[in-house]
Each structure stands twice: as structure tokens, then as C-alpha cells.
Amino acid sequence: MPLTDTAIRGAKPREKQFKLSDEKGMYVLVKKAGKYFRLDYRFAGKRKTLALGVYPDVTLAEAREKRDDVKKLIRDGIDPAQMRKANKAILVVQNANSFEAITREWFIKHSPNWAESHAIKIIRRFELHIFPWLGNRPIVEVTPPELLAALRRIENKGIKETAHRALQNCGQVFRYAVATGRAERDASADLRGALAPVKHGSMATITEPKKIGELLRAIDGYEGTPVVQCALKLAPLVFLRPGELRQAEWTEIDLDNAEWRIPGPKMKMKFPHIVPLSEQTLNVLCDIHPITGQGQYVFPSIRTDSRPMCNNAVLAALRRMGYAKEDMSGHGFRAMASTVLHEQGWLSDVIERQLAHAERNKMKAAYNYAQHLPERREMMQAWADYLDTLRSSEKVVPLFGTAKGE
């Protein structure tokens, strides 16, 4: 008599395991540990047993469907046990040949020859921007459109340079897979020209951790006026536009609440802006307060206290420090922060709001200047701490632990 669900559910374990028979060789093996669907069959003259699942995760109806599928394989001359082993072997090979597995193999092989900071930056780029979309895919099945879709996500965050670097790194992985017999071709080769070009020029910046550290140490050693040196120290910490930085007024800065509120008319987008002040930023402001705190401007002109310092004061200081126009610009501190913070995994919306980038909806922008403020406070302090790490050590380990992933 065929089994019923009621009979299976009501079967109680005994001292020894026992069987509840169904039809066509299928039965339920009742143990103290649980109830298991099994199928006895003969293939090539040998008696064999195949597991069909555990009750109640697999229902009686589902077990019978599996039984019928197995019977069909046997009629077609296929041993279901051997087929199951083959399928498992295929899965093992596919997992070993996934895009992430091969990338990590490539990374382990080549990273000992790289600077530690460079190695961490590369693997972090894969973990943030590529693995979530392509990591589990067998590398041989990854198509150029799939790769482009992942790269477009990076590009749409405004970090075009990172997208280009990710494409280059993916190409290295594909070529490694081809060389080791796990892929037939480099899928990245078809994407030449598919990404928007990175525009370099007046926005020259530095994003390599070691070079950022060198720049920060050069700023610390700058021998110009204290006002210009303090402006230089603040530039990477607050990453404002040069005009917004130089026009800072003491009335806008609340040292007690660690906030700098810039009125809309001073901002490029004409909307108010809030800059959460890290401990390091507060220290710089406290250093300069005895010098300029009695006047209107934080960074007054050398000629008169009634005007802020000139437009090119920070730029001229960079040139005197030996940084040419193709190396670093006044705006470059913004690009530096944007690139590195995105690569560290901070939410794009938080970064863009702190950069005070344009909001398409002007009405919305007028009210959203305080958006994500708690996250921005956390990010600005983590960014300042990270800069301290770069400044104090020539062997840099990027600080990713506090970043907020996308």
C-alpha cells in the first residue's frame, strides 16, 4: 500500500531504525535523527541505494517525482548515482573556476611583487565593485555586456578613473584565466572605448596612498605664512572648492558643535552647506584662531583683514612645494577625497552630499543640505584619521574598517 503523509508524520523512532515502504522501490528510513527518503534500484546487475531527501523538507509528492525521474534515467541506461557524482564534480570545478576564485588566485600569485598599499587597493576594488555582480559566475561564461554592466555601476558613481582601473584589472584576470586554461578569451578586450574617458587637466589630483602621505608631510613642512599653511592643512580635511575655503568666516564656524555652516551665496550651487569638523580640523582652526580669530576671515589677505586671501594662495603654495600643475591642483583635494572614499566603500550619496555636488531638483536641493549628516560626521572623522595614517607612515595600509559598503 502506498505511503501517506499522515503515516510518515506519525511514525515514531524506535531503538533500531526501520523502513516505511512506498511504491517502486522507494521507502522512508526512520531513525532517531530523522526521516529519510531512499530508493533501492538495480543497475548493471548491482543493487544500489539513492538518497531522495529528508522529510519534511522534501515532501512525499516531491520524493515521488524524484523517484520517477531516477527511474527514467535507469531506463535510458544512466546510473543516477554516477550522474549525481558527476554533477557534484562539475559544481566543484565551476566553483573553482568562478570569476572570484580565479581573481583571488591571480592576486595571490602577483601581489607579493606589489607595494602593500597597491595590493590592498586592487583587491578592495574587486570586492566592492566586481565580485558582488560577477564573483560567482564561471569565468568562461562572463560576457562583455555583463562586465560592462558592472563597470557602468562604478562609472555612475562619478568615479570614472576607478572604472577604468577596474577594467584594466579584470583584463589581467581574464588573460591569466586564458593562460591557465580556464577561459577561452579576454572578455574585457571588447570594451575598449566603451567607458567614458577620464578628463585630466586643471583637476589634477593625487590618489595613491603613498603619494598622499608625501603631500601631507610636505604641507606640514611648508615654510610660508601660518595662514596659508593652515589653509593647506584644511584643504584635504574638508575638501571644499578653493573659493569656498578661502572665504571662510569665523561667524560660520561653531567650534563647540564642530560644524561649519556655509551660507548659500558662497557656494557654487547657491545652497547652504554643512561641513562636519573632525578633531583634526578643529585642531587646525584652534591653531589659527589666536592669529586671525579677532577678524572676519579665517584666512585673511596678507594686505588687509577686510578681504580673504587671494584666489591662488593655495595653488601658489603647492607650486612652491614642488607640485607642478599636472601633479596637483587646488581642486585636486576634492577629487582625491572622492576617489579614495568611493574606493573605501562609503555610500555614494553620503560622499556626493558632502562634496556639495549639483542636485538636479533645485527645490529638493534647497532642503537637503543637511541630508545624511550623521553618516557625514562619521565619514569626515574616519577620513581625517586615514590621512593621519598616511602622513605618519611610508608603508601605508588603507583604513577600510569603518567604511560603509554599497
Asked which of 163, 191, 219 is the last residue of a domain, the reply is 191
Q: What is the DSSP letter of 2?
A: -
In this structure, are residues 398 and 386 in contact, taking their beta carbons and an 8 Å threshold? yes
Query: What is the C-alpha to C-alpha distance for residues 124 and 103, in angstroms, rounded to an integer?
Result: 12
Residue 30's DSSP bridge partners are 18, 35
The answer to whether residues 36 and 76 belong to one domain is yes
- Cα dihedral 357→362→367→373 (10° resolution): -20
323 is catalytic: no
Catalytic residue among 357, 372, 377, 404: 357
The answer to whether residues 34 and 89 belong to one domain is yes
372 is catalytic: no
Q: Tell which phi-psi region holds residue 354, choosing left (phi > 0), alpha (psi between -120 and 50) or beta.
A: alpha
pLDDT at 115 over 80: no
Catalytic residue among 64, 273, 334, 353: 334
Q: Stretch 22-45: mean pLDDT, rounded? A: 91
Catalytic residue among 64, 129, 160, 331: 331
Could you give the strand order of the β-sheet that contains 18-21, starting from the edge strand earlier in sequence? 18-21, 26-31, 34-43, 46-55
Domain ranges, residue 171: 99-191
pLDDT at 401 over 60: no
Residue 38 maps to a domain: yes
The answer to whether residues 326 and 269 belong to one domain is yes
In this structure, are residues 243 and 265 in contact, taking their beta carbons and an 8 Å threshold? no
Query: What is the C-alpha to C-alpha distance for residues 236 and 222, in angstroms, rounded to an integer?
Result: 15
Catalytic residue among 109, 268, 270, 395: 268
Catalytic residue among 71, 241, 307, 377: 241
What is the reported pLDDT for 94?
Answer: 62
The CATH number linked to 21 is: 3.30.160.390
152 is catalytic: no
In this structure, are residues 151 and 162 in contact, taking their beta carbons and an 8 Å threshold? no
Selection from 170, 164, 166 nearest residue 106 by Cα: 170
The answer to whether residues 89 and 147 belong to one domain is no
Mean pLDDT of the chain: 87
Residue 401 maps to a domain: no
The CATH number linked to 160 is: 1.10.150.130
The answer to whether residues 50 and 108 belong to one domain is no
Q: Stretch 263-288: mean pLDDT, rounded? A: 91
Within a 10 A sphere around the Cβ of 12, how many other Cβ atoms? 5
pLDDT at 4 over 50: yes
Question: What is the total count of domains within the chain?
Answer: 3
222 is catalytic: no
38 is catalytic: no
The answer to whether residues 80 and 126 belong to one domain is no
Query: What is the C-alpha to C-alpha distance for residues 16 and 19, in angstroms, rounded to an integer?
Result: 10
The answer to whether residues 243 and 213 belong to one domain is yes
What is the reported pLDDT for 233?
Answer: 95
In this structure, are residues 272 and 263 in contact, taking their beta carbons and an 8 Å threshold? yes
In this structure, are residues 302 and 317 in contact, taking their beta carbons and an 8 Å threshold? no
What is the reported pLDDT for 386?
Answer: 95
What is the reported pLDDT for 400?
Answer: 42
The answer to whether residues 269 and 348 belong to one domain is yes
What is the reported pLDDT for 91?
Answer: 64
Decide: helix, strand or coil at residue 360.
coil
